[in-house]
Homo-oligomer: A and B are copies of this chain.
Amino acid sequence: MKVNNIKELILKSAKQTAQSHGYNGLNFRELASMVGIKAPTIYHYFPTKADLGAAVAKRYWEETAEELEEMLKKFADPRECLRRYSQIFRRSLEDGNRLCLGSFMSAEHDDLPEEVKAEVQAFADINIAWLARVLAAAEGTEATVSQKRAQAIFAAVAGAQLMARSRSKISIFDDLMDSYRAAGLLPA
């Protein structure tokens, strides 16, 4: 499967770094040393930083989309899927207190090249579309209604992750999910 090992490594390292330090925090010299190459070599695989950023963000949402699809196949119960959805964000926190790449890049919106912005939006889109589908299945709501609700859940979960990260405390994330359930935003 791995057609190109170096390119693979660059993408993986860039993703990890961007989840901790953002797009602005990505720098080619440090990235190169993680991979074991020199900075100019990265340009052989990615002509500009914008290309690398877009590639990282694209892969990020593609991997997420795949994981969400798998989930639907494995778990028939929509409620179980919803519970596992928030676990994706929780796992980022477990893995070095990392933030969702989409959230970090949303904050960096003003500094992002257009092609990167587009991938960040795609990430939000696939999350919301998936949530809307699952919500419709769980509660039998109409498409437009579950779409709005899906958007709200996505924004709220992202906000919860951001807040937990700011205190480096995963229990805050869990508490917030409980509160969302108690308030009625997430199904009980």
Interface string of A151-186 (1 = CB under 8 A from B): 110111111101101111000100110111011110
Given the complex, which residues of B lie within 8 Å of A80, measured CB to CB?
none
Question: A120 an interface residue at 8 Å Cβ cutoff?
Answer: yes
CB-contact partner of A165 in B106, B159, B175, under 8 A:
B106
Nearest opposing residue in chain B for A173, CB measure:
B155
Question: A36 an interface residue at 8 Å Cβ cutoff?
Answer: no
Chain A contact-residue range equals 35 or more
Q: Is the CB of B124 within 8 A of A110?
A: no
Given the complex, which residues of B lie within 8 Å of A117, measured CB to CB?
166
Q: Is the CB of B154 within 8 A of A175?
A: no
Complex Cα gap A151–B183 (Å)? 12
